[in-house]
Amino acid sequence: MNTILLKSINIPSFSIKSTMERIVLIMSLVALFATTGCHHEKEEKEKDKFTGTTPLKMDTMITREYVCQIHAVQHIELRAMERGYLQEIFVDEGKFIKEGQMMFQIMPLLYKAEMQRAQAEADFAQIEYRNTQSLADSNVVSANELAMAKAKYDKAKAELSLTQVHLGFTQIKAPFSGIMDRFHVRKGSLIAEGDLLTTLSDNSEMWVYFNVPESEYLDYKAHQTKKDSLMKVNLIMANHQLFDYPGYVKAIEADFNNETGNIAFRATFPNPKGLLRHGETGTIEVKVPLINALLIPQKATFEVLDKKYVYVIDKNNVVKSRRITVGAEMPDIYAITSGLAETDRILLEGLRKVRENDTITYEYENPKKMLHHLKLHAE
């Protein structure tokens, strides 16, 4: 029987102890670094100085803007009423034309000949009627013959008047004072009845149309102080300059557009210098009063998924995000309709340096002083 002798191996005890010490040492260092890091982060957070404020409650004005179309108070097409060759043009494109001024002459020879014939027939019928009248007075002819002569004379006069009207149509005169547009025909052109010659614009006053959403229309009607009071508006021209004269909304269309939910307003602007022309575009500015509005700077807000939030600072100086609803927007300022109270303290500066439930140290800034340099229009 073979006997196997096992020799014992002596492992030094210090090697096990050294490994354990290393593990404990590493874990201690990790814990120390973590504690130091948290403590350092906390110290840095406390060292950061933030600025806080409160919403400001006051009366103010907001400006609403609408894209607009500018039209002349009168803008018409001038068309030929008779057929013929265009014999003469007495005006020029872009010129101011006075009411009744001669503009175009269509060759009148045919219409003059027709009028002369009608005039001769009317003269003949008149002589015939007078002779019949004399005979009737002497009881030579009956009353019926006199009546027939009178009817024939009246018919001849009516035909003469008709030819005079047709002759008058060959002379095209300005129906009102205004500015000529471009010519659609030239001298010598053969013109058919109804052909467009030009357009004429009365720019003494301008009608400016702009579309208003249903909610803003209802607000306007609700705050209209008097039944006949007119909304005052301003016009920003295409060059971004303010038009010299204010306008007043004098008409509102009857129906809403079901596709856009808008209704058209028409403002009337004086145009004594003739600066505005038919077909221009611009922007209408409407001043709307806000009573007891709750105002905060726009820079005190941040967005999450198109929703606006602020950081509210509680009594323990802990910041918590809160969703707000913006009722109106001004340059640099929001008017808040829900989410904040007048006494709530909000973080104004350092929004990117904090996270939810952070404890901060901040300096309070008076909201009046804070909003003073912003673009605020107070009443």
Q: What does the alpha-carbon distance between residue 261 and residue 338 come to, in Å, rounded to a whole number?
A: 25
| 87 and 192 inside one domain | yes
Residue 378: inside a domain, yes or no?
Answer: no
> What confidence category does residue 2 fall into, taking pLDDT thresholds of 50, 70 and 90?
very low
| 193 and 97 inside one domain | yes
**For residue 18, what pLDDT is reported?**
56
Residue 356: inside a domain, yes or no?
Answer: yes
What would the two tokens of residue 7 be?
């020799």
Q: Select the highest-mean-pLDDT range: 15-29, 151-165, 267-281, 348-362.
A: 267-281
Query: What domain count does the chain have?
Result: 3
Residue 368 burial (10 A CB sphere; 0-12, 13-18, 19+): exposed
Whichever domain contains 235, its CATH number is 2.40.30.170
Residue 372 reports pLDDT greater than 80: no
Interior angle at CA 343, CA 338 and CA 347, nearest 5: 80
Which letter, b or e, does each residue of 116-148 get, where b requires 16 or more Cβ atoms within 10 Å of its Cβ?
A: eebbebbeebeebbeebeeebeeeebeeeebee
| 177 and 191 inside one domain | yes
Q: What does the alpha-carbon distance between residue 355 and residue 133 come to, in Å, rounded to a whole number?
A: 113
DSSP class of residue 214 equals H
**Section 255-284 average pLDDT:** 94
* Pairing outcome for strands 171-173 and 49-53: unpaired
Residue 5 reports pLDDT greater than 80: no
Residue 11 reports pLDDT greater than 50: no
**Section 86-107 average pLDDT:** 92
| 353 and 254 inside one domain | no
pTM > 0.75: yes or no: no
Residue 102: inside a domain, yes or no?
Answer: yes
Residue 12: inside a domain, yes or no?
Answer: no
| 97 and 157 inside one domain | yes
| 184 and 252 inside one domain | no
**For residue 22, what pLDDT is reported?**
61
Residue ending a domain, choose from 290, 311, 344: 290
Who's near 153: CB < 8 A, 6+ residues apart?
A: 122, 125, 126, 128, 129
Residue 28 reports pLDDT greater than 80: no
**For residue 23, what pLDDT is reported?**
63
| 180 and 216 inside one domain | no
**For residue 170, what pLDDT is reported?**
87
Whichever domain contains 331, its CATH number is 2.40.420.20
Residue 4: inside a domain, yes or no?
Answer: no
Residue ending a domain, choose from 198, 219, 245: 198
| 237 and 193 inside one domain | no
Residue 356 reports pLDDT greater than 60: yes
Q: What does the alpha-carbon distance between residue 378 and residue 346 come to, in Å, rounded to a whole number?
A: 22
Residue 17 reports pLDDT greater than 60: no
Residue 178: inside a domain, yes or no?
Answer: yes
More confident residue, 20 or 200: 200
Q: In what order do the strands lie in the sheet with 84-89?
A: 171-173, 102-106, 84-89, 190-191
Residue ending a domain, choose from 269, 290, 311: 290
Residue 379: inside a domain, yes or no?
Answer: no
Residue 327: inside a domain, yes or no?
Answer: yes
The percentage of residues in the chain with a pLDDT greater than 70, rounded to a whole number, is 84
Structural domain containing residue 339: 48-62+291-372
| 250 and 340 inside one domain | no
| 278 and 295 inside one domain | no
| 165 and 232 inside one domain | no
Whichever domain contains 167, its CATH number is 1.10.287.470
| 285 and 354 inside one domain | no
